[in-house]
Structure 1
Amino acid sequence: MTAEEEQRFRSMLFSELGNKIADRGWARFPAYTPEDRSRLVDVANRLTSYWGQPVYAEVEDQCRVRLCLAGYKALPELSPARA
Structure 2
Amino acid sequence: MQAIKRKLQAYVNRCLRPILRIGWPRKICNIDFWRKINQRDITLEIRRRKFGWLGHILRKGTDSVPRNAPEWNPQGIRRRGRPKNWR
- Bigger radius of gyration, 1 or 2? 2
Q: Which TM-score applies when normalising by structure 1?
A: 0.29
The structure richer in helix per residue is 2
Q: Which TM-score applies when normalising by structure 2?
A: 0.28
